[in-house]
């Protein structure tokens, strides 16, 4: 098995994004879904060897627990197409929470990506993360310098209340989420085994920053729940 069937199905759904076509081609969806879950099952074994803090939990979970529904929630997309023509998964002990922080994968022609990150659902939790980054900015900078990762995210126009614009970490304090995302060209998506090793290079590269963000998240007393977000 490889990703050809997944990519082809996503491309066709993008062109025919309506319920009639989806139901008429449901067998094709099920085959592509089976392939995607098969890859996730393989990939979780590789992740478990490199990421011990989530290894124990994900080894006893079913890959379908990490997969997002392909149907959009039309409460938030009333005038849009009914399906997100991509296969997506968030590999963690709890897909609806970002503690522990896991890894996200999207397979979609021309816009596949892989990465990790931290989202907060309240301003207070965002401020807890901002304070942690400010107080531990030397460690944060050293991780970036050593690994070459780029931390990005949605930003406020101005520095949030309670923080200084002169803070060396001001660029990151303005952020509302903190992500490390790598976009993947279609030509880099090969066999399951090849792509698994391809992604593991990114896991190793991003793991120090994931661990930093995890410590930042734990600095907030309450559990951080993932807000609804359309990848």
Residue-wise pLDDT for 44-57, tens only, equals 999 988 888 788 77
Q: How far apart are CA 220 and CA 13, in angstroms?
A: 41
pLDDT of residue 101: 87
Q: Are 115 and 101 in contact (CB under 8 A)?
A: no
Confidence of residue 223 (pLDDT cuts 50, 70, 90): very low
pTM of the predicted structure, to 2 decimals? 0.89
Q: What share of the chain is helix, strand, coil (3-state, %, to 5)?
A: 50, 15, 35
Q: How far apart are CA 31 and CA 87, in angstroms?
A: 12
pLDDT of residue 92: 87
In a domain, 84, yes or no: yes
DSSP state of 72: -
Across the chain, mean pLDDT equals 90
Number of domains forming the structure of the chain: 1
> What average pLDDT score do residues 114-126 get?
91
Number of other residues whose CB lies within 10 A of the CB of residue 183? 12
In a domain, 192, yes or no: yes
* pLDDT tens for each residue of 186-203: 999 999 999 999 999 999
Matching residue, tokens 């996730």: 40
Confidence of residue 26 (pLDDT cuts 50, 70, 90): very high
Residue numbers of the domain that contains 107: 4-218
In a domain, 92, yes or no: yes
Please give the structure tokens belonging to residue 143: 């991780």
* pLDDT tens for each residue of 135-181: 999 999 999 999 999 999 999 999 999 999 999 999 999 999 999 99
> What average pLDDT score do residues 32-59 get?
90
In a domain, 231, yes or no: no
pLDDT of residue 96: 66
């Amino acid at each position: 098995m490889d990703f050809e069937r997944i990519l082809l199905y996503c491309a066709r759904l993008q062109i025919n994004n309506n319920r009639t076509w989806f139901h008429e081609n449901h067998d094709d969806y099920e085959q592509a879904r089976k392939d995607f879950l098969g890859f996730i099952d393989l990939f979780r074994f590789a992740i478990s060897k490199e990421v011990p803090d989530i290894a124990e939990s994900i080894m006893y979970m079913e890959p379908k627990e990490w997969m997002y529904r392909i149907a959009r929630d039309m409460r938030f997309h009333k005038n849009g197409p009914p399906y997100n023509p991509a296969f997506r998964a968030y590999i963690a002990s709890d897909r609806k929470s970002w503690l522990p922080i896991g890894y996200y994968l999207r397979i979609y022609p021309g816009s596949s990506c892989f990465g990790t990150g931290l989202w907060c659902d309240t301003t207070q939790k965002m401020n807890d993360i901002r304070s942690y980054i400010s107080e531990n900015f030397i460690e944060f900078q050293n991780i970036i310098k050593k690994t070459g990762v780029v931390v990005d995210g949605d930003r406020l126009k101005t520095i949030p209340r309670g923080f200084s614009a002169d803070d060396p970490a001001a660029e990151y304090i303005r952020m509302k989420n903190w992500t490390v995302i790598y976009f993947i060209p279609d030509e880099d998506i090969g066999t399951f085994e090849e792509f698994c090793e391809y992604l593991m290079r990114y896991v190793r590269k991003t793991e120090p920053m994931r661990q930093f963000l995890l410590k930042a998240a734990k600095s907030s007393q309450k559990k951080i729940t993932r807000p609804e977000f359309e990848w």
